[in-house]
Amino acid sequence: MKKVLCMMIALLMVTLPLFGMAETDFPKKEITIIVPFSAGGATDLMARQLQPVFKDKLNVDIVVQDVPGGGSVTGITQAMTSKPDGYTIALVTSSYIALAAQDQVPLPLDSFTNITSLSEDPLCIVVKSTAAGGKYATIQDLMDDMKARPGEVVVAQAGNNNANQACVGVWAEEAELELNDVPYDGASRVVTEIIGGHIEAGCMKPADCLSQVQAGEISILAFFTRERVSLYPDVPTFAELGYDIFKYGDIAMVTFLAAPQGTDPEVKAKLSEMFYTVLSSEEWQAVAAERSFVTNPINGEELDAYINSVYEGLKVAAEKIFQ
């Protein structure tokens, strides 16, 4: 009996390091990031811009797979029901958080293994620039038109019942405006309609219309942020104009990375470490500045608390604003 026990202990001493090595050796192949939106959009481009930085910093290949549908639900569900080995993760945005806050998703947020925050995009109101023939030079010009033509001025956004619509709704409440809030199937469509003169304004991320802003076709009139956006220092915030945009809580356009429930804690820790290295690098911070978003990577309990804060803000907004 003693001899058998010794043999079992010896066997454990040999096999345990092998299990540890399998975990610490992660990753042994490329990591797939599922983007739950169509190719070519701002979110897809951001994921693809990760690829060269990841390769340069860590010599790890990133594969971007676009799985659009259901306001991001299709792609995220595919990722969260995949094998929990760390090799398939999802890019999750406020679109999914808003749907989760309304109980319209098959998987609740607490069923995810959250890896790291990726970005926070400031939302803004955009119009056709005066240089291109637009009629609004300031946000006050737009609001004056709304008051002169109640219910006629269109402020559009990509999708509905999301952070964009929540921001527009709170603004309308605060400024006592009556507007025509119209959802489209993508921010690019909103930009096209504004430039074509078919609608007056849109709510979106600067990254959604960056090339048009640079070309002088689109102007940003105001941001739904607490402080001015560094890349647009002359553009005011609704907060400084006296509107309490955050009266219902944190309503923000955030993006984070998540893995399926059951992912090994050591693999989760390795993923968090890898993304922190990449997202904190000068190369990635330059991408963020160029694309007008903020990257301040957080993980662990801090990330979970932040996501829950955005969830609670959107939950209240859904009750107060969404129809």
User: Alpha helix locations (H) across the chain?
Assistant: 2-24, 42-58, 73-80, 94-101, 139-148, 163-175, 187-195, 210-214, 265-279, 282-291, 300-320
User: Residue 8: its pLDDT value, please?
Assistant: 41
| Average model confidence (pLDDT) across the chain | 89
Q: What is the chain's Cα-based Rg?
A: 23
pLDDT tens, residue by residue, 136-146: 999 999 999 99
Highest mean pLDDT among 14-23, 65-74, 143-152, 310-319: 143-152
**Whether residue 129 sits in one domain with residue 116:** no
Q: Looking at the domain assignment, is residue 17 inside a domain?
A: no
Residue 201 has pLDDT above 60, yes or no: yes
Report the CATH number that the domain containing residue 209 is assigned in CATH.
Answer: 3.40.190.10
Paired tokens of 96: 């999914």
Stretch 201-226: mean pLDDT, rounded?
94
Kindly state whether residue 241 falls inside one of the protein's structural domains: no
Tokens of 235: 């553009």
Residue with tokens 């309609």: 193
CA distance readout (Å), 236 to 113, 161, 211, 224, 289: 37, 25, 21, 9, 18
Q: Containing domain of residue 296, as a range? A: 29-121+252-320
pTM score above 0.85: no
Q: Does residue 111 share a domain with residue 130?
A: no
pLDDT at 320: 84
- Give domain status of residue 230, yes or no: no
Q: Per the domain annotation, does 66 fall within a domain?
A: yes
Q: Is residue 187 part of a domain?
A: yes
User: Residue 20 falls within a domain, yes or no?
Assistant: no
Q: How many CB atoms sit inside 10 A of residue 84's CB?
A: 17
Considering the domain architecture, whether residues 136 and 104 belong to the same structural domain is answered as: no
HSE, CB side, 13 Å, CA atoms: give it for residue 264.
Answer: 15
Compute the half-sphere exposure of residue 82: CA atoms within 13 Å on the CB side of its CA: 20
Q: Are residues 128 and 219 in the same domain?
A: yes
pLDDT over 80 (residue 2):
no
Q: Domain for residue 291, yes or no? A: yes
